[in-house]
Structure 1
């Protein structure tokens, strides 16, 4: 039996390589900071260590640090330590073994015809280290829709949309003096509204990850998401553990987030159902000032993590959950341990609570790193 060492086996590409190799009869060694989906875990910090390739016949190198660091910044140096220096240490440790080095389509220059990239395609002019974020949705041809488009244009966000004859959904929130809120749902879109496949599929085919809001009109995308091997995430908000609309998203996503507000008496059972009956690698239930609860696939118990102390007075919790998910996933895709991902999410959520929900104010990456370091000292 051949033994294949797969670096970065907990990531998007590496997990598929490891799973496919095992399915074809190979013995798989998963090198990295986190275990892969199959095989034996060999811990390896690519930024500092020479990997242990004992017993491996060949190596598939998928590990990489991702992001878009400022040139000359510490973040760029940290990325080089993994992607350049770490690869050099791996090649040295390979000692003549065959090595397959998996790169990224993001090194290629963007432009027309990118779906037919040849070996001589330019590798300059790319937008950032791993491409841009893409938003797609329905939007009304109304003042609210035009306000959204104008705001996205000012922020430079790449947004493609279809006109909904039902208009742009509104948002109404009630906030009490302690910053707690109640959101009203605008159900103007009919239950059978769907994003057409010929609209979303070209974007999906170029994606490494997709986050699906529980809006309903994207729920038929999962078949293509799974077929293409794209990882997915969702936020179930205050799901009660029963509503079939939310359940569809819960069981079809790889990374699941929700609020613990409606399931306190059934927390462990609901999280276990999501993992056991679905495909989730982990599920995170945020719990406000009580922190969050996390269940990983293969774990025997739900882990509790405390909240971080907000550094600003709490005035409005609107947007805290979105900020938590965004920062958590950002750290996750950087390859950081789950504990660090929880800390990042907690810091970002706490930051948002310090500003009124009628204003958009998210913590930036340098601020997240600095606040995370301060919070870690007492967390």
Structure 2
């Protein structure tokens, strides 16, 4: 079977409005003067993952629902400019939108507009199957239309990853994603016991690897029944924005996995890419490229391990 696409990204397309605020939480006031400007750009979780995968040289195809509106045009232009194939399913409710408040230390508070969708929204199953059959891997965003695509992806025999973001380990909405994917990413932010949640994902689902990112504290990696801590990587430039760091981590981890690297090396790739993302302003949609990733990773490895594999 021909696999002409390395990674099929499902869901997570949209537009963010970025507002740099003097602090978070933002004290109540009648008004604030925003000298840095208020800017709208394409880029939500699926877009960030797709851009990051493309920057690392992986053949990437993104599929999601988009509106026939100026925001949808921004998403289409982003994919066109980055050379990423896009299948846009019409969304009468309009393109997904969010407002991100970003503090001077790079922390983010996101306000998601949930009105841009309907309970019966679906990604067309024949198209999902066609794209999945031509792909080596599928990365699935936790949006409602993607939940209904999970059985078709599994039927096609493609490996699957997902990002549960700030799941608390209890909300049942996330469970179909957590229990269907072979690789599961999530944030440790809302977890009182990350190891317990990670092991439950493995016990109840199909996951071979679970990664819980913990920001400046690094990440937890569960692979081959062993939990290890992955140290954080110091960014090579000042931290300006944490937006997209988790998406960058996931994309670089998948790049390593599809290259045949062991989980610990994949996690190092992710840590380096995530650190780089923190140095990129939220108003930009950019990612580390393959050469820069390998050059940075090589600095953490002994000489005999600094060679690279090709995807």
TM-score range, shorter chain: 0.7 to 0.9
Asked whether 1:224 is paired with 2:174, we answer: no
CA distance in structure 2 between the aligned counterparts of 1:305 and 1:177, rounded to whole angstroms: 26
Question: What residue in structure 2 maps to residue 314 of structure 1?
Answer: 239
CA distance in structure 2 between the aligned counterparts of 1:151 and 1:333, rounded to whole angstroms: 25
Question: What residue in structure 2 maps to residue 335 of structure 1?
Answer: 260
Residues 33-53 of structure 1: CA deviation (Å, up to 9, x unaligned): xxxxxxxxxxxxxxxxxxxxx
- After superposing on structure 2, the runs of 4+ consecutive aligned residues of structure 1 that deviate more than 6 Å are none
Question: What residue in structure 1 maps to residue 277 of structure 2?
Answer: 352
Asked whether 1:365 is paired with 2:293, we answer: no
Deviation at 1:171, TM superposition (A): 2.1
TM-score (norm 1): 0.63
Asked if 1 retains the 8 angstrom alpha-carbon contact of 2:211 and 2:222, the reply is: yes
Larger Rg, first or second structure (1 or 2): 1
Ranked by relative contact order (alpha carbons within 8 Å, sequence separation 6 or more), the top structure is 2
Taking the TM superposition and a 5 Å limit, the aligned residue runs for 1:95-114 are: 105=2
Taking the TM superposition and a 5 Å limit, the aligned residue runs for 1:296-315 are: 296=223, 298-299=224-225, 301-315=226-240
Deviation at 1:258, TM superposition (A): 0.3
TM-score (norm 2): 0.76
Aligned length: 249
CA distance in structure 1 between the aligned counterparts of 2:155 and 2:87, rounded to whole angstroms: 23
Unaligned residue ranges in structure 2 (runs of 5+):
5-56, 303-311
Asked if 1 retains the 8 angstrom alpha-carbon contact of 2:137 and 2:158, the reply is: yes
Structure with more of its chain in strand, by fraction: 2
Q: 1:240 aligns with which of 139, 143, 168?
A: 168
Residues 154-196 of structure 1: CA deviation (Å, up to 9, x unaligned): 2221111111000001121111221111112221212331112
Shift of the 105–196 alpha-carbon distance from structure 1 to 2, 3 Å rule, reads closer
Asked whether 1:277 is paired with 2:187, we answer: no
Question: What residue in structure 2 maps to residue 205 of structure 1?
Answer: 133
Unaligned residue ranges in structure 1 (runs of 5+):
1-103, 108-129
Question: What residue in structure 1 maps to residue 65 of structure 2?
Answer: 138
CA distance in structure 1 between the aligned counterparts of 2:76 and 2:189, rounded to whole angstroms: 33
Residues 178-232 of structure 1: CA deviation (Å, up to 9, x unaligned): 1111112221212331112123221122122111101110112221222221100
- Tell me the SS of whatever aligns to 2:88: strand
Question: What residue in structure 2 maps to residue 294 of structure 1?
Answer: 221
CA distance in structure 2 between the aligned counterparts of 1:345 and 1:259, rounded to whole angstroms: 13
Asked if 1 retains the 8 angstrom alpha-carbon contact of 2:150 and 2:180, the reply is: yes
Asked whether 1:170 is paired with 2:97, we answer: yes
Deviation at 1:277, TM superposition (A): 0.3
- Tell me the SS of whatever aligns to 1:138: strand
Asked if 1 retains the 8 angstrom alpha-carbon contact of 2:129 and 2:153, the reply is: no
